[in-house]
A = this chain, B = another copy of it.
Amino acid sequence: MTEDVRQIADVVAERIETLILDGVLKPGQRLPSERQLSEKLGFSRSALREGLQLLRARRIILTEHGRGSFVAKLMPEPATPLMHLFSEHPRTIYDLLEVRALLEGESARLAAMRGTDADFILIKRRYEAMVELTQSGKEIELREHAKLDHAFHLAVCEASHNPVLVHTLQSLTDLLISSVFASLNNLYHRPVQRRLIDRQHARLYHAVVDRLPEQAKRAAVEHIHSIRDNLMEIEAEEQRIHRASLRLNGW
């Protein structure tokens, strides 16, 4: 069995990340001491320290002997979990989509050029799974829809035969999903937008398997651009993310 069982260290790390994401802990601010955190969270100090090491490894916190642990001042790389702190800065989401459009376009183009028959079989399979789900008319969770959507894009991307491209895009996609989950959920539940997305997927699919590189690129770029436009619309309606009003000695 793979490593999906959570340890206390994982719980600790997630709790502290949540405090940071909610703005309860801010960059530069000192965390409560290990002894305080241990008592408050109800874990031993050694298990807690293991959780803090996870955060250290990810450069989310810095610890200094004798002084304390501090929330790092972040300008992390993509794929760093804390990039979605920038979810409060909507511009960054659009920056991310801009880069993603570039990479998706290129990956679609290369896929149309380099894809093997096996690649195309897989792409077709993924595409048909999406179509089937869409046509079932069932009310589905975003997670399932996103899973199929992602599997389709991943199959296209892997057909580019450039693993660096694959992984860079994965990082950006994970980042996007984690940052604007609620907005994407909103988007997928709107019939008009959903049909548009389905048409875009169809165009992308056909362009790739028909080996039309420039068309594949255009389809991919337009797809990302329409997602961007839709998110801008939704954002204009949505409330800002509710921020926890927890105080440390009250949580």
Contact = CB atoms under 8 A, between A and B. Distances in A.
Interface of A: 1-3, 5, 9, 13, 46, 49-51, 53-58, 62-65, 75-80, 92, 95-96, 98-99, 102-103, 106, 162-168, 170-172
Contacts of A50: 49-50, 53
B5 A77 contact: no
Nearest to A171: B77
Given A78-B164, A172-B164, A53 B99 contact: no
The secondary-structure label for the interface of chain A is: helix
Nearest to A101: B106
Given A46-B46, A50-B49, A57-B54, A172 B167 contact: no
Contact of A58 (B9, B57, B172): B57
A228 to B, nearest CB: 13
A74 to B, nearest CB: 10
A92 B165 CA distance: 10
Q: How many copies does the complex hold?
A: 2
Contact of A164 (B1, B62, B98, B163): B98
Given A3-B64, A167-B77, A98 B162 contact: yes
Contacts of A172: 164, 168
Contact of A63 (B3, B92, B96): B3
A58 B53 CA distance: 11
A105 to B, nearest CB: 9
Nearest to A78: B168
Contacts of A2: 62, 64
Nearest to A49: B50
A54 B5 CA distance: 17
A9 B57 CA distance: 10
A2 to B, nearest CB: 7
Contact of A92 (B79, B106, B163): B163
Contacts of A54: 53-54, 56-57
Given A3-B64, A95-B162, 8 more contacts: A2-B64, A9-B53, A50-B53, A53-B54, A55-B57, A75-B166, A78-B164, A99-B103
